[in-house]
Homo-oligomer: A and B are copies of this chain.
Amino acid sequence: MSSFDMPTWSRQQLAAVEQALSDWVPPHAPADLGQAMRYAVLDGGKRLRPLLVLASLKACAGDQAADWMDEAGMRAACAIELIHAYSLVHDDMPCMDNDVLRRGKPTVHVQFGEAAALLAGDALQTLAFELLTPDNSHIPAQVQARLCGLLARGAGHAGMAGGQAIDLASVGIQLSLEQLRLMHRCKTGALLETSVQMGAVAAQANAQTMGALLAYGQALGVAFQVVDDILDVTADTAVLGKTAGKDADNDKPTYVSLLGLEAARKEAAALAAQAQQALQDSGLADTRALQALADWVLQREH
């Protein structure tokens, strides 16, 4: 097995993702649309979803991925980041969370106006599917179609959008731990799971591998949200790059409000361990990047 250094690998991948996003999110879209789209996506964000796609591709294809697999992986990585970005733009709007700060910058509707933010979010979602279906590409049509299908299912009514609807309906309502888990499994977990699956599809992984990676993605997704809730009460706004204490202020149920801080920390650690176990069970030779991402999710400070 070749040597592996996570900081170096992730720095390289992040630079490539940033370049690809800059190449693919059009500056010349009419009126301010392109500028608003780029503002929403470029120069910010942890890029966890793209890294999950690329780490999953690496685990499944090794360092010997065909050129089209690398292209498919990068397109999938950017597509899922566009979906994530569109959801943040719409989530921040006055009729939703009404937030003015994101990634340390004014939110899109503050910078460009509400109508432009609405449109930019819409167009970012569409662009995700455009990226997955390039003209004149060597990516097999079957891979393109499966990537579109996975992304649509992860982002839609049974995934992210469904989770947001539950979230919206739950403000001021006492959710059970079970209901909270369902909400987060959809709202945040679905896209994280989808990221891992898209990387595997880009490498044409078999069904058994897909199953193991799905288990990893599911555990990781919930862990991510538990840590998010912990950070909402323990970190400050400057470090988070978004408004801290927001959930408590909005009277939203969180893992911390339901479990208490200490039990929430234990839950996060248990979930991260579950994710690592799924990788061991996968039979994949080199899951070091996926392992490192699970560590990061548990230990992150913003």
Q: Is the CB of A151 within 8 A of B129?
A: yes
Residue of A93, A116, A118 with most chain B CB atoms under a 10 A cut-off: A118
* Interface members, chain A 129-153 (any B CB < 8 Å): 129-130, 132-135, 140-142, 144-146, 148-149, 151-153
- Complex Cα distance, B113 from A93, in Å, reads 14
Binary CB contact string for chain A from 91 to 116 against chain B (1 if under 8 A, 0 otherwise): 00101100000000000000001111
Q: Is the CB of B144 within 8 A of A30?
A: no
Query: Of all chain B residues, which has the CB nearest A169?
Result: B31
Binding-face segment, A119-127, A255-263, A291-299: A119-127
Q: Please name all residues of chain B whose beta carbon is closer than 8 Å to the beta carbon of A156 when the two chains form the complex.
A: 123, 126-127, 130
Q: A126 touches which one: B115, B142, B157 (CB < 8 A)?
A: B157
- Complex Cα distance, B75 from A148, in Å, reads 15
Chain multiplicity (copies): 2
> A165 in the interface, Cβ–Cβ < 8 Å?
yes
Q: Please name all residues of chain B whose beta carbon is closer than 8 Å to the beta carbon of A166 when the two chains form the complex.
A: 30-31
A20–chain B nearest beta-carbon distance, Å: 17
Q: Please name all residues of chain B whose beta carbon is closer than 8 Å to the beta carbon of A157 when the two chains form the complex.
A: 26, 29-30, 33-34, 37, 123, 126-127
> A88 in the interface, Cβ–Cβ < 8 Å?
no
Interface size of A by Cβ–Cβ distance < 8 Å?
A: 56
Q: Is the CB of A93 within 8 A of B118?
A: yes
- Complex Cα distance, B156 from A37, in Å, reads 12
Q: Please name all residues of chain B whose beta carbon is closer than 8 Å to the beta carbon of A164 when the two chains form the complex.
A: 119
> A199 in the interface, Cβ–Cβ < 8 Å?
no
> A90 in the interface, Cβ–Cβ < 8 Å?
yes
Q: A162 touches which one: B123, B145, B149 (CB < 8 A)?
A: B123
- Nearest 10 A/B pairs, CB to CB: A133-B149, A95-B114, A126-B156, A33-B165, A31-B169, A29-B157, A130-B152, A144-B145, A123-B161, A141-B142
16 example contacts (A-B, Cβ-Cβ < 8 A) are as follows: A30-B157, A30-B169, A31-B168, A95-B113, A95-B114, A118-B118, A119-B165, A121-B122, A122-B125, A123-B162, A125-B126, A126-B152, A129-B129, A132-B148, A133-B148, A133-B149
